[in-house]
Each structure stands twice: as structure tokens, then as C-alpha cells.
Amino acid sequence: MTATTTPSTMTSTNPGKPARDEPVDTSAVTGYAPEALVTLTGVSWDTYESLLADVGDVASPRFIYDRGVLEIMSPTLEHERDHRSLTVIVQTMALVWGIDVSDAGSVTIRRADLQRGFEADTSFYVQHVATMLGKTRIDPSVDPPPDLLIEMEVTTSAIAKLPLFAAMGIPEVWRVTSGQVVMFALRDGEYLAVPASVAFPPLTGDVLTRFVHEGRTTLSTRWLGDIQVWAKDHPHPGHGGDRDERQPEPA
């Protein structure tokens, strides 16, 4: 993949990066070292979309765009490990509780009318699972955004993420900073920290934090078993418990 952009006010905030009006060679963006975070200003929307098209479905790097500011980030091992752990936690508990969820993964969400876009670390449809069945792309003009987004804050970002997510209408965000999970719910266009998940009311930030930390040092079978036991001991309001207990065996 190769692409070169030359926006008229392209500026890098990182030493050693191209200065104002210099061409920006993105041919090596897939090879950024771990924890690399490059911030560029004065980037046009067309340039942002061209970069997304050039990178395609490559998992790294990830792009965040907010009205002319572009961040290019290469995830760390900590970043990837912990957000995948949270994905497994959600899927395991949803199975025990008998709740249908759709893992939208690191889907790209962008809106030209807002001049904003980002790639989620992990996202889920929960309340809108049925609406998104069979769809392979999100059309922001007709489709709802994911109901839940997980955001890993491993590196310091120049872009304020919560206002960006709020502009996109993401109902719930779990933000992980220094290993701690904090839950936010969208209220009147702004996020408020909440004690428990909106989509999964039994879950709290402390419970998720504990399971994420245990996932780093516990063998997977023991870890998954502990998650299942917790979910069975803390049933979801309105759901009768383990899906296997509610569904009859096939004839």
C-alpha cells in the first residue's frame, strides 16, 4: 500500500515528521513501531478517506479524524490483549444471560457531514442486533451506531475522544485507562460516568477491571469458568439466565 498526501497546511506535531507543506509518505504506515502515535493537522477529509481506502482491512494502523486533525496509531500488545479480553467477557456473559449481541469489532465509523471518523477498538450491537442482521457495512445515514464501544487509552491522544463518540451518537462507552474500566452513558449529548452498564446492568467497571487483570495471569479455561460463574450468580434483569437452560433440545 502506498499513498502520498500533500495538503496545504499539513503539519506534524512529532519531531522528525514532515513539516508544513511537505509531502507525507504513508507507504510505511503498517510498519509503525509499537506505541507509535502520529498526529497531523490540516488534513482534508478526502485525504483521510484515501488513507482508509489504501489501508483497507489491515488491522493496524488505526486512524482517527476530527475536523482536520488526523491521528495514526499502532496498537500495543497491552492495548490488543485487554480489549480482546473485554470482548470475550461481553460474549461470554451475553451467552450465559441469553442476550443476542453482534460483535462489530474495530469497525470504521465516519460522517462526512461532521468531518469526523474513527476506528473503534471494539464495538457491539446489543439493542439494535436485529436491525443490523446481515449487514456488512454501516451506512450512517440510515443505520444506528454501535450500542457499546470499548476504548483503550494506552497512549495520550491529541483528539478528545468522548466528544467525538458523542457526536456519532454512541450510547455507551467503556474506557480503559491504566488498566481501570470506567463506564460512560450518553445523556443529552454528553457522557456521564455511570456505576453500571446500560446494556448489561449487572456489570460494573470494577467487575470488568478485575476480570481484565485476572485474564493477564490466569489460564483461559479457569478464567472463562470464573466469568460464567459470575454471570450465573448475577442474572441480567429481564433475562432468565443461562441460554442453554431456556432453549429446548432439538427434536
Question: Which residue is listed with cell 485487554?
Answer: 82
In-domain check, residue 251: no
Contact criterion met (CB below 8 Å) for 39 and 30:
no
The predicted structure's pLDDT at residue 166? 96
The predicted structure's pLDDT at residue 103? 92
The predicted structure's pLDDT at residue 16? 40
Same domain as 190, residue 100: yes
The predicted structure's pLDDT at residue 79? 66
pLDDT in tens, 162-197: 999 999 999 999 999 888 999 999 999 999 999 999
* Domain of residue 160, CATH code: 3.90.1570
In-domain check, residue 60: yes
Same domain as 101, residue 202: yes
What is the domain extent for residue 161? 77-246
Question: pTM higher than 0.75, yes or no?
Answer: yes
Angle at which helices 220-233 and 77-97 cross, to 10°: 40
The predicted structure's pLDDT at residue 67? 96
pLDDT in tens, 5-30: 333 333 333 434 333 333 444 333 33
The predicted structure's pLDDT at residue 78? 65
- Three-state DSSP at 192 gives strand
In-domain check, residue 119: yes
* Residue stretches of the chain with pLDDT short of 50: 1-34, 241-251
The predicted structure's pLDDT at residue 159? 87
